[in-house]
Each structure stands twice: as C-alpha cells, then as structure tokens.
Structure 1
Amino acid sequence: MHLLNLGILAHVDAGKTSLTERLLYSVGVIDEIGSVDHGSTRTDTLALERQRGITIKSAVVSFPVDGATVNLIDTPGHPDFIAEVERVLGVLDGAVLVVSAVEGVQAQTRVLMRTLQRLRIPTLLFVNKIDRRGADGERVLRAIRGRLTPAIVPMGAAHGPGTPGARFVAGLGAGAVDVLADHDERLLEEYVEHGALSPSTVREALAAQSRSALVHPVYFGSAITGAGVDALIFGIRDLLPPAGGDPDGPVSGTVFKVERGPAGEKVAYARMFSGTLRVRDRVPFGEGPEGGAVREGGRGRTEGRVTAISVFDHGTDVRVDAVPAGRIARLWGLADIRIGDALGEPRKDCGHLFAPPTLETVVVPGIGADGRRLHTALTQLAEQDPLIGLRHDEVRQELSVSLYGEVQKEVVQATLADEFGLDVGFRESTVICVERPIGTGAAVEFNKKGANPFLATVGLRVEPAPAGAGVGFRLEVELGSMPYAFFKAVEDTVRETLGQGLHGWQVGDCAVTMTHCGYSPRQSHAHQGFDKSMSSTGADFRGLTPLVLMAALRRAGTRVLEPMHRFRVEAPADTLGALLPVLAASRAVPRTTETRGAVCVLEGEVPAGQVHVLGRRLPGLTRGEGEWESAFDHYAPITHGAVPERPRTDHNPLDRREYLLNVTRRVGS
C-alpha cells in the first residue's frame, strides 16, 4: 500500500489548520469544514486550542488520495511550542510549509525551512490567503527566493489576488527548466542541445528532484475558498516520496507523542521505520542500545508488552492486530514510555533539531490547591512534553517548569485548571543557564578506607568535551572487575548528578571516566541468608558516586554560560538612532548591518533573557514597521555581574556532612 506521512508546518496564523480542514473536506473525509475562529476544527481538540484559535499539540488524521493513504500531522505554529514540531519532523516523509500571501515570509517560517533543509525533508510550499486584501503572490515569491531558498518551482500563478474570487491557474513557467537544470547536468545538456524539453521530461525531473528535496514546488491558493487545494493534493500524491521500510525487517520505530487515555493509561504515537509490531509483542524501548550511551539526562532502555494497537484510516483510527513499517500507530501497554523513545532497534539519533527551552518559572499553587496533586499533574504534563523539565525543590517546597515563552504559562495554567481542577499562578520567568568544565579534575574514595561509609570504591575523572557533545561516560577499568549492575549504577548516577553543577546548573559537554572500582562480594553468616551490611549493593555505588563526582568537578572547575539568540531586525533606516542604544543597553551585539534603500537590516546576537523585552519594545521604536526575528544559537560565558546561582534540589554532595546526613542518616568518622 502506498503510504505517506505528511507534516503541515507554518508560522502562527498562516492558516495551516484551516488548510488541514480543507484537505480533509476535499478528499471526502469530512462533510463540513471546521472553523479555527469557531473552535470546530478536526485537529484542534484541546479547549485552549479552540479558545485561542492556535495549535498547541500535534494531531494526526488520515485521508486517501487515489489509492494512497496520507497520514497528515498538524503541528503548532507558535514559537513557544516548537518542541512539538521537533518531535514530528523525525517521523515525516514530506512536508507542506504554509506561507501567508499577505504577511509573507515570517520569522518562524525561516526557522522551519532551515530545519527542513538541514534534514533534507521533501517540502512543498503553499502560499495561502490569496483571497485576502493585501495578498501579493509575486512579492511573496521574491521573499521566498531571497529569505528561504532560490530552489523553487512555481506550479502556476494566482489570478485576481486580494479579491474573494482569487484563483490558482496551474502551469510551469519558463524558469522551471532553469531551476531543474541547476541540479541535473544531463537535463542541462539536453536543454542546450534541443533548445527545449518535453513536458514528460520536465515532469519526471520535477518529481525526482522534489522527492530528493533539491527543489521545492510552490502552489498558491486559499484554505477558506478552496482555491488551489486540488492542485496541492495532486502535488502531495505525485511529488512527495512514499514511506519506506521493510515490514519483514527488525522492529524499529520512534515515539513522537504520548497522551493519556480515558482511564489514565498511556497511549504512545509511534512511526514504524522497519519490521512489524504486533499485539502481545514484548518490545524494548528507550533512548539508546542496551548498555550504550544515552542523551543527557536519559535513562537507558527498558521493555514492555503491547496490549493494543490502532492505526489511522479515512479520518479516524481503527484497532488492528499489527502495524507494519511505514505506518503511524497508537500503542497501549507501554507504561514507562516517553516521547523520543526508540522502539526495538534504535535509529541513529540526530539530537535536538531545535533549541532547548531557555526560561523557567516557579509554579505557585492557588488557594486550596493541593501540593501533591499539583506535583502529580505536572509530572503527567512532563511525560507528554519532556522539555517542561519539572524540578522539585523539597527544601523550599517549590515546583519549577521550563519554558520557550510566556504563552506556555497560559497553556500550563489552563491545562491544570481544565484537566486537573487546579488553580495556579507563576513567578516571573528567569533564564536557564548551563555549566561547563574548564579543566580536568579527579577524585577517588576506596572501600573500607578513610571516611567512606559505603561498601564501594569509585574513582572518576572529569574533563571538558567539545561543544554539543553532551555527557560521555567511559571506563578505564576492566568491565569484568565487578558486576555490570554496579557499573550501570555509577553511570546512571553520574548523569543524574550532573543535572546540578557547582552553581546548580546542568553540566554538559564533558567526559567522565571511571578510573577506580571495587566492591565487597556477596557474604553471609554461617547458615544464614545474604547480609547486606557485609556486601556491596547498587545503593552503595549510587550513594558514593555523587560525592566523588562533585569532588572531581570542584577540582576541574566550571564556568556558567547563558543562552544567546541570533537576531535579525529589519527597520526603517531613520529609526536606527533610537534603536541602537536600546540594543546596546540589552547587551545585543550587531554583527552585520545592511542598508536596502530606506530599510536597514541588522543581524547579531543577544542574551536570551532580553529577547522578550526587545520584541515588545521594537514596534514603539520603529513606528510599528520593524520586524524582529530571533532563535537560540549558542551558550556564551557570563562576563558581567555576579555568577548566577541556582538553588539545589538534591542532597547537596558539595557539603559532605549534609549529604551523608540526608543519604545515610549518619556521618563517617
């Protein structure tokens, strides 16, 4: 069966959810088109999505096209929910990027297109809203070529743009051959030799290059009136590649969404890349191969039994006994499943496609809100969105969550109220920094020696690693020198402990090497059972590792870094006098300046903590004509003021006495 897993992506309000509705209507899946304004769309099911008219959670719906089945995934457009888009991109065969014919190429459009190109995902562009006043197809085409990619092939033109009767007239222009010939020397030779190419040759070249993400066909239309949508449907069928994968191969899939069912059970949305998964199969899942490295803060692999499966078909989902490679399915029974987990054999991990969240806020319980219920509710939300990054400070009895932006606060607040009956508020958002080692440090504690109260020997060395490397764990001791479970306990504890460095921030980009190990073998008194007071257990290694690791890290030293955004400002040139001092006061550093007639374009970098303020002030500084675009770029050392400290939420292994009191309830001599 011909399958295609398709993503619909766009800047917020470009009309992608309306386009989804029109596609479902055009192929006969729904009898009436839902309205974003009226909160009646098929894919926006959350109450807040219907109230605000924006997509917050990705949604899957299926429709047929001439014998082919398209699994369509509607994704959020607002930058605060970019993590949802990140998870979807890894399971797509192709994408439609929606651009508004009125607003044109916007900030999020550029971010999405750069990522689609980096991942080489075949992409069609749909210029929406040609029926709206101010629509200008030629202007948008120029913006696409200049700000997104020159490798575009207009599939026709908009006639009567800016009027209710605007329509799409199909037809390849003369420039299409030039674009296609840039990527195919044989096509260029044939064109030069004969002075023209047959329509069938052009169509074949267009399909091949579109499926290889070398060129991007562009359609014009209106999701509201339906103009151009039929042509887009044929483009989806003919110009995007079908899903691949061997159904007889080893089971391999990726979980891109987790939700709770009516009874509170976990339901995982997974794309199968290989093999066939059946009901009652036991399947390993997690972040990496058994015993191998996992992502920073990861947990390794576990196993579960699939109790039920459903797949998407003709606008609904149906229960099945098995799901083969290429399909998207909902899976029941995997109680410990998380978003991002690999099912079966892990595929090569491409890491985060978008930035990590750079803000956090303390959740303040309202009057009558129960702290335990709030913790349980936030834990469930973190399961559905791991980047929420729930932190529990037991000393201060505070719960914190990570954010991409202020709109996420409204979503968390509304979700807690609607789904859990909890009233909460928030403190002012603060920036999330990170720590990196600046040197090499080592420490060791020996079993039954000195003040070590644990029946374990652990030696660790910490040293810097290249930017973006995460946390690596290596052994300088023989793997057979003690039970594997003890090595696993040390590695897992190292990753967990590095969640809070010398200043309380997550430590990354470092290599940790185990240099010493030792244990007390299993012992017992005569005619008696196992005596754990004489024998090492995993708890001994989990207890000792934080003390050794923090001692090594203290000797290595760490540097605190803050998140930096790259920014682009386009504003009238005569407003620079007012704009530049504000940028300087916000510690923004312009790297390039370009003047285009009466418009000036500045590009540079700015601390993440200043982005929200600058975006809010820009309209007043530029007579409402300025355009602000920013995205996370890198972490940079803090060079101003005091080094920010983050309150610890662990047992504080930096203070040996306090740590041992908390962990063992006794202090070594």
Structure 2
Amino acid sequence: MSKITIGMFAHVDAGKTTFAEQLLYYTNSIRERGRVDHKDAYLDAHTIEKARGITIFADQAVMSYKGTTYYLIDTPGHVDFSPEMERAVRVMDYAILIISAVEGIQGHTETVWQLLHKHNVPTFFFINKTDRTGADADRVIEDIRLHLTADVCPLTGSLKDGVVGEALMESMAERDEHLLDQFIAGTRDHAYWLSSLQAMIRSRRLFPCASGSALQDVGVSEFLDQLHTATTVDYDEQAPFGGRIYKIRHDSNGVRMTFIKALSGTLKVRDELCYPANEVQLCEKVTRLLIVNGNKSQPVEQVTAGDLFAVTGLTAAEAGQGLGLFSDRLVYEMVPTLKSKVIFDNQLNVKEVLKAFRILDAEDPSLNVVWEESLQEIHIHVMGVIQLEVLEQIVRDRFRLDVSFGNPEILYKETIQSAVNGYGHFEPLKHYAEVHLRLEPGERGSGMEFMNACHANDLTIGHQNLIRTHLFERDHHGILTGMPVTDIKVTLLTGAAHNEHTHGGDFREATFRALRQGLEKARNVLLEPYYHFKIKVELDDMGRVLSDIQKASGRFEPPQTTDTHAVITGQVPVATFMNYSTELASFTHGRGSIQLVFGGYDLCHNEQEVIERKGYRKDADPLYTSSSIFCAKGHGYTVAWDEAEAKMHLL
C-alpha cells in the first residue's frame, strides 16, 4: 500500500480548511463535514484556532482512498506562523496550493510558492470559491502563469479513470520533445501517458490545476480522484531507517512527543535512534510509536517508510533535524525579525515562567528564547503581533501563567568591515589559557564561520575543538549595541595551555576575550533585517508607492507595467515597512497587494540613531570583557584590551 504525505497551503481565508474537510469526508475519515466559521473543523481542533478561525498549528489527518494511505498536513495560512509551515514542508511528497477565485494570488500565496519551489515539492493548484460573486478562475490561471509558473495546466475534463485526455497530452507534449514525437506519431497508450504525466508532476515540470467550491462541494471529489491518479511515491522499506523530525509537541501530561516522517526503512518500539545533540551523538530508545489522526492517536508496534508518526523517548532531538540515514538540519527561510520581552507579575516564580518558554522553544525553535541574566528578563523572537497574542493565550491555557509581552523591537545584528587579530589571555591563580584569533568580514548571510590554522604541536586537538565549541555555543554580543555578531570568518591562529593549571572554562574565558578584543580593534557596523517586497497596484497608485519606498529607505527595480497595473519589487528595511500593508490597503481601497519576505540583513539605514537609542555600554556587559587576566607574584591582575596584546605569551 502506497503512503503519500500531502500538504495543504493557502493565504488566509482562501478556504483551505473547508477543502480539507471535504477530502476527509469523501475518504470516510469523518462522518460530517466541519466548517471554520462553525468552529467544528476536524483539523482546526485547538481552542485558539476555533476562536480565531485560522490555522495556527500544522496538524495532520490520515485518510485512505482506493488502496492508498494519505497523510494530510494542514499548514498555517498566516505569515506569523510561517516557521511552523516551513518545518512541515520538508516532509511532504506533494502539496495542494489553494487560491481564492475572487481574491486570486495574494502575498502569502507567493511566499508559499517560493518555499515549495526551494524544497522541490510537486504542487497541485485548486482555485476555490468559484461560486462567489466576482469569481474568475480563468483570470487566476493567467495570474498563476504570470506570477508563479508558466507550467500550470488545467485538469478539468482531461484526467478521468486513469485516462489522460487530448488537451492534457498536448500540454505535456509542449514541454517534452520525446512526448511531442509520440503525440504526433499518434501514440495513445493510456498507461504510457499516465506514467509520463506522473513523472512530469513529480519532477515539477507540470503543475495541475483544478477549480470548484469547497463550501458548496463542487469539484472536490473529482480533484481527489485526479490527485490519486497523478501521484506516486518510491520509498525503500528495506533500507536502514532514516527520517526527519517536523514537529515537537508535549501531551497533556508534559510528555515530549517527537513527530517524524519515515523516509526509509522500518522503525519498531524499543529500537534505538541516534542523533547529534549539543556537540555529542545521543542514542535513545523509542518507548512508544503513535499514528496521529487529528486529536486522536493510535499506538503501533512499528512504522515503515512513508509513515507520518510520533515517538516518545527522544529527549533532545530538534524540529527540522534528520535521523538515522539523514543527518542534515533545516536552515530556515522564514526568520523572525522582531524581539519581545516577556512581562509577568513579580510574584510568579521566574524559573516556572522560563521552564514554560523552554518547552515552547523546543516546539518552535524560531522563538529562540533567551534568558538575560543581567536584566533578569526573558526575551523571545517572533514574526509579528498576532503570534504574540496567540502565545499569550497558549501560556495561559497550557501553563496557567498570566504573561504579556513588550512592544516588539527590531532584531539588529553587528559585523565587522576590517580584518584584525584578537588576543585573549586568562590566568588567574592556578588557571591558564591563551587564544589568538583572526577575525575577517564574512559574506552577508554567512553567520559565523570557523577555520583552523593552529598546529597540533602548539595546542592539542582537544583544546582546539574546545575553542571552536565555545565560539558556537551562543550568540556573541557586538560592541555597538550588544546585538549578536554575525557574518564573521574566525580563524584559530594559535593557543596555549598549561599541563597542571588549565581547567574547564579557561578556554571559554580566553576565547571570548580574544573575540571581544578583536572587535574592539575592528571597524564595526550595525545590520538590520530587510524585506524583499513585491507590490502590485493600479497605475494611478504607482507614484505614491515609489515615493513611500524611498521615504522608507528602500530600493526598487524598474516597475513592470501593463495597461492597468504596475508590479514593483525591491528591498526595504523591516523597521520602516512592517506596517505598510495596512497603509497600502487603505489608499488603494483594498485593490493593491503586497508580498513581504525576509530578505536577509544589510547595513542599517539609521545606525547612529539606533546605537544611541540602545544605549549599550560595552564596558559594563557582565557576559563579555575585552580585557585579559595575567598572573604575577601569585595574584591575577587585569590588563585592558589595548595593552593586553603586548603581554601575550605567544607573541
């Protein structure tokens, strides 16, 4: 029996959850169709989802159709919950992208499309709400051709009972020379054309498109049959086990559940799974295996390639991580650009609050929960205000804690624009470590890179590895605002230890001091997050938009225009544009559309203003100092960064 994972995607209010309800009904997975507005949808079962009428969590359902098991993942449609969606994308065999026949392609639609393209997920389009006033499926197909892919292909009347119709054959032949020869030669072997269609969809050379109304039950059963006919998978159950984690959750008793897609082999209860965690290889036994369907779960003894399931017994595995044959990790495309402080009554135990947020951090690593020891504050990273509102309710419902959040602030970063050497020495009485680093500017978006030019004769391999570990164990504060340092290439030049006096933590101290001392000498610059934007407006509104972009310190490409509309693309700081969608909707009377996607970090447009506002005192950071400690006559003494280099033992 084939097992196929299907992902459901859409902009908010395109009818995705209603469409999913119809699929579940037609496969006898549910007895009655639910509706979002009636708050009884099978997949939007969480209290928060029912209250808000939107999908927040990537939940799954299981359905069977004509001998095939389908795992259906309903993904969030709001941009604030994009990281949840992105984790789920990695385990999908196929995707269904639902677009409203009235509103057409919207900002989040294009974001989803780019994500599916990046991860090579074969995609079906369903144009929904064709029963509504103003619906125009043909116009939406043309927009798909223009803005998403020229390889969209209508399915209506072209694929039934395994028979590929002439119109579909012709569309396939237009995209493949061999198929063109077969079409001209009159080859009409149904099996041949069907297997060719399946191969073209799987390789993303063709994107089938159907239309109808999920609410009125028009076109959904036909689409289900076409989906079943046109999809195939090829998993190897005989290979060693390999899988990928797409979600972490905790049940009502606090038990950690790790949700996995099996990509190869077989996994049984009590089997051991090994994975990297905190720089070591951790091996743990699977204590339970569960097939999860909506809010129900069924224990099983084993799972095989293609299955979507949850396990208990893994204590430190992370969402986005590969297991077994797969050791890669997810590098997020959807990155939070805002930071917010957790506010709570001082009568609450801070350890309890932090524990709750550590659990949420395991479930959504993009939160990047940070405990600021010096401020006694908890900070989190978020996508937007809606996410904060939802988090507030989650913390109240799950942990019985009343919290709120400070106004979201932009997440700045720092880097250098000149190459320098940094030196750190740590030698209080009966301790010893010295580290020399070369700091060079890295490529934008590269993070921190490590290279090693230290010879084993100068410093043992163990100590060299320790220095590398300390460099990557946390974000390091820059000296302009205390924000994380990024896009730096760090080379270990040399170092020194003492046979008797070097203890645990000495190399951490020396490494941090060397990094900081180098930053003191370098030319430091502040970076801010940018959006890649795509704005579509009527020609009359183009001038206003271009002016707004310039005022927001953005850059734009020459607009693409038709007789009636203009499409403008470019880059703009998040800080100046995060609320622009509301402004655009106002002056275009809802006729303008905007897509905002995180476009990485670049030079801050108002660096000095931000530095002054942050008021960071580099000499008063309790976690970092650029000074070194030396020892003389049995006592340690501090040497300032600008004098320490001359006293280094290895120079």
TM surpasses 0.5: yes
Question: 1:212-235 CA deviation, whole Å, 9 max, x = no partner?
Answer: 211011111222232222222223
Do residues 462 (structure 1) and 433 (structure 2) align?
A: no
- Which position in structure 1 is the counterpart of 2:409? 430
Q: Distance in 2 between matches of 1:129 and 1:366?
A: 47
Residue pair 2:9, 2:112 contacting (<8 A) in 1 also = yes
Distance 1:358 1:453, change over 3 A: farther
After TM superposition, give the deviation of residue 485 of structure 1 in Å. 5.0
Do residues 19 (structure 1) and 32 (structure 2) align?
A: no
After TM superposition, give the deviation of residue 77 of structure 1 in Å. 0.7
- Which position in structure 2 is the counterpart of 1:630? 596
Residue of structure 1 aligned with 2:386, choices 407, 411, 421: 407
- Which position in structure 2 is the counterpart of 1:39? 39
Do residues 491 (structure 1) and 457 (structure 2) align?
A: no
3-state SS, counterpart of residue 608 of structure 2: coil
Do residues 239 (structure 1) and 230 (structure 2) align?
A: yes
Q: Distance in 1 between matches of 2:467 and 2:202?
A: 46
Do residues 509 (structure 1) and 487 (structure 2) align?
A: yes
After TM superposition, give the deviation of residue 82 of structure 1 in Å. 0.7
After TM superposition, give the deviation of residue 565 of structure 1 in Å. 1.1
After TM superposition, give the deviation of residue 10 of structure 1 in Å. 1.1
Q: RMSD value over aligned CA atoms?
A: 3.0
Q: Distance in 2 between matches of 1:82 and 1:477?
A: 42
Distance 1:349 1:428, change over 3 A: closer
Q: Distance in 1 between matches of 2:167 and 2:577?
A: 40
3-state SS, counterpart of residue 565 of structure 1: strand
Distance 1:200 1:170, change over 3 A: closer
- Which position in structure 2 is the counterpart of 1:562? 528
Distance 1:577 1:509, change over 3 A: closer
Deviates more, 1:552-561 or 1:102-111: 552-561
Residue of structure 2 aligned with 1:520, choices 486, 495, 498: 498
Distance 1:198 1:247, change over 3 A: closer
Do residues 391 (structure 1) and 370 (structure 2) align?
A: yes
Question: 1:57-103 CA deviation, whole Å, 9 max, x = no partner?
Answer: 11111111111111111110101111011101111111111111121
After TM superposition, give the deviation of residue 313 of structure 1 in Å. 6.9
Q: Distance in 2 between matches of 1:514 and 1:358?
A: 31
After TM superposition, give the deviation of residue 312 of structure 1 in Å. 4.3
Residue pair 2:237, 2:265 contacting (<8 A) in 1 also = yes
Q: Distance in 2 between matches of 1:358 and 1:318?
A: 39
3-state SS, counterpart of residue 579 of structure 2: helix
Look up the equivalent residue of 2:377 and give its one-letter code. Answer: E
User: Where in structure 1 are there 5+ consecutive unaligned residues?
Assistant: 159-167, 288-297, 522-533
Do residues 204 (structure 1) and 184 (structure 2) align?
A: no
- Which position in structure 1 is the counterpart of 2:117? 117
5 Å-filtered alignment, 1:119-518, equals 119-156=119-156, 175-194=167-186, 197=188, 201-244=192-235, 246-286=236-276, 301-312=281-292, 316-349=296-329, 351-352=331-332, 354-366=333-345, 368-445=347-424, 454-478=431-455, 485-503=462-480, 504-518=482-496
Q: Distance in 2 between matches of 1:576 and 1:471?
A: 40
After TM superposition, give the deviation of residue 321 of structure 1 in Å. 2.6
Residue pair 2:163, 2:190 contacting (<8 A) in 1 also = no
Question: 1:35-70 CA deviation, whole Å, 9 max, x = no partner?
Answer: 211222222232111100111111111111111111
After TM superposition, give the deviation of residue 336 of structure 1 in Å. 1.7
Distance 1:470 1:655, change over 3 A: closer
- Which position in structure 2 is the counterpart of 1:164? none
Q: Distance in 2 between matches of 1:270 and 1:479?
A: 41
After TM superposition, give the deviation of residue 210 of structure 1 in Å. 0.9
Distance 1:285 1:68, change over 3 A: same
Deviates more, 1:274-283 or 1:384-393: 274-283
3-state SS, counterpart of residue 320 of structure 2: coil
Q: Distance in 1 between matches of 2:26 and 2:503?
A: 63
Distance 1:481 1:337, change over 3 A: farther
Distance 1:210 1:507, change over 3 A: same
- Which position in structure 1 is the counterpart of 2:89? 89
Distance 1:210 1:520, change over 3 A: same
User: Where in structure 2 are there 5+ consecutive unaligned residues?
Assistant: 640-651
Distance 1:467 1:243, change over 3 A: farther
After TM superposition, give the deviation of residue 589 of structure 1 in Å. 2.6
Q: Distance in 2 between matches of 1:204 and 1:183?
A: 15
- Which position in structure 2 is the counterpart of 1:653? 624
After TM superposition, give the deviation of residue 125 of structure 1 in Å. 0.9
Distance 1:252 1:506, change over 3 A: farther
Look up the equivalent residue of 1:262 and give its one-letter code. Answer: S
Question: 1:395-420 CA deviation, whole Å, 9 max, x = no partner?
Answer: 22222211111111111111112112
Deviates more, 1:50-59 or 1:637-646: 637-646
Q: Distance in 2 between matches of 1:121 and 1:141?
A: 20
Q: Distance in 2 between matches of 1:348 and 1:337?
A: 12
Q: Distance in 2 between matches of 1:68 and 1:127?
A: 25
Distance 1:596 1:336, change over 3 A: same
Distance 1:252 1:461, change over 3 A: farther
Question: 1:360-385 CA deviation, whole Å, 9 max, x = no partner?
Answer: 12222257544332222222111111
5 Å-filtered alignment, 1:517-666, equals 517-521=495-499, 534-642=500-608, 644-645=610-611, 651-656=622-627
Residue pair 1:452, 1:668 contacting (<8 A) in 2 also = no
Distance 1:547 1:112, change over 3 A: same
Distance 1:667 1:17, change over 3 A: farther
Q: Distance in 2 between matches of 1:481 and 1:53?
A: 63
Distance 1:667 1:539, change over 3 A: same
Look up the equivalent residue of 1:635 and give its one-letter code. Answer: Y
- Which position in structure 2 is the counterpart of 1:6? 6
- Which position in structure 1 is the counterpart of 2:649? none
After TM superposition, give the deviation of residue 185 of structure 1 in Å. 0.8
What is the number of residues matched between the two proteins?
628
TM-score of the superposed pair, with normalisation by structure 2: 0.89
After TM superposition, give the deviation of residue 328 of structure 1 in Å. 1.7
After TM superposition, give the deviation of residue 656 of structure 1 in Å. 3.4
Residue pair 1:155, 1:172 contacting (<8 A) in 2 also = no
Q: Distance in 2 between matches of 1:221 and 1:618?
A: 30
- Which position in structure 1 is the counterpart of 2:645? none
Residue pair 2:368, 2:381 contacting (<8 A) in 1 also = yes
Residue pair 1:223, 1:229 contacting (<8 A) in 2 also = yes
Distance 1:314 1:458, change over 3 A: closer
3-state SS, counterpart of residue 374 of structure 1: helix
TM-score of the superposed pair, with normalisation by structure 1: 0.86
Q: Distance in 2 between matches of 1:102 and 1:115?
A: 24
Identity %: 28
Look up the equivalent residue of 1:391 and give its one-letter code. Answer: V
Residue pair 1:441, 1:461 contacting (<8 A) in 2 also = yes
